[in-house]
Amino acid sequence: MNRTFDLDHKCGSFFAHFLEKIFIILSRYILIEKKDMEHEYQRAVTRVCVQTALLLLQHGAESTVVVQMAQRLGVALGVESVECALTANAVVLTTLSDNHCITTARKNTDKGINMQMVTDVQRIVIAVEHHLYELEIVQRKLDQLKPLKYNRWLVVFMIGLSCAAFAHLSGGDWIICSITFVAAAIAMFVRQEFSKRHYNPLIVFSITSFVASLISGVSLKYNLGNDPQIALASSVLLLVPGFPLINSLADILKGYVNMGLGRWTIATVLTFGACLGIVFALSLLHITTWGH
């Protein structure tokens, strides 16, 4: 009887120990699977956040907006914090969740100023903060974003009209305004063609200003209109890099000095390219008395 009891006791202890081991192994396996799922989710959040920052930076948003939108999106999707560092040609982003950090970097390529893209990205972030979108929906929405562009001929016409209006405000008569309109419109068409072929922006600005100055310089060479100098000055206004200059100043004032200096440098180089085009056009027309 005692032997039977001892045998049953030993069998019970063995099975209890065996079940305990199985429970520990399963618990560890489930914990590892859970951590892997959490890390995979964090990686997905990191990719979405850096994609958001990259879209904003590529389309002309100031640095404060880029960093804040990436941070707000990450926190809304469940990570503890998001750190974002910007340079002129890259975005570096780190997410922190349960003492686990994931860092990723993306190369930045300028895609032109487009506030519609910036606004659409901001709307997606706000929707996530209001718990309207999950991670998968956010990823799909960001992938589906495409910049809306105006009809190119409408842009050509409006650029010519705006430069002609500036010439009129500066005191030019209808001859000066007409020359300015033609010069600016043709220059904008040339700019579109070269930009479409992905030429270096410095070359694009130089050739565009050369074309505009060559056409409007005819009024100065042959003394057409009441003040030919107005046409020459007004026809190149489409090349003023106002948005990058404003963003550079905003970045510097808000603490993003590196980004501000980078944007200011790019704007300065583009302005220098426009000046080169003007100088070449005036040299070709043998005009040496502009401003007198």
Q: Mean pLDDT in runs of 10 for the chain (292 residues)?
A: 50 55 52 55 92 93 93 91 90 89 90 91 94 90 90 95 94 93 96 91 94 92 87 92 90 92 92 93 82 54
Residue 97: predicted pLDDT: 86
Angle, nearest 10°, between helix axes 115-129 and 2-58?
A: 150
pTM: 0.80
d(CA 241, CA 127): 33
Q: What phi, psi does 107 have (nearest 5°)?
A: -80, 135
Angle at the Cα of 282 from the Cα atoms of 279 and 284, rounded to 5 degrees: 110
Residue 35: predicted pLDDT: 46
Residue 31: predicted pLDDT: 41
> Under a CB-based contact definition with an 8 Å cutoff, are residues 48 and 77 in contact?
yes
Residue 288: predicted pLDDT: 75
d(CA 118, CA 132): 19
DSSP 3-state of 15: helix
Amino acid at the residue 180: T
Tokens coding 10: 């030993």
Closest CA relative to residue 42, chosen from 120, 85, 99 = 99
> Under a CB-based contact definition with an 8 Å cutoff, are residues 93 and 46 in contact?
yes
Tell the residue number behind the tokens 């603490």, with chain if given: 255
- β-strand pairing of 81-87 with 90-97: antiparallel
> Under a CB-based contact definition with an 8 Å cutoff, are residues 224 and 179 in contact?
yes
Q: b vs e for 139-150, b when ≥16 Cβ sit within 10 Å of the residue's Cβ?
A: bebbeeeeeeee
Q: How far is CA 193 from CA 196, 207, 256, 281, in A?
A: 5, 11, 34, 20
Amino acid at the residue 12: G
Residue 202: predicted pLDDT: 92
Residue 16: predicted pLDDT: 56
> Under a CB-based contact definition with an 8 Å cutoff, are residues 124 and 133 in contact?
yes
Running DSSP on this structure, what letter comes out for residue 80? S
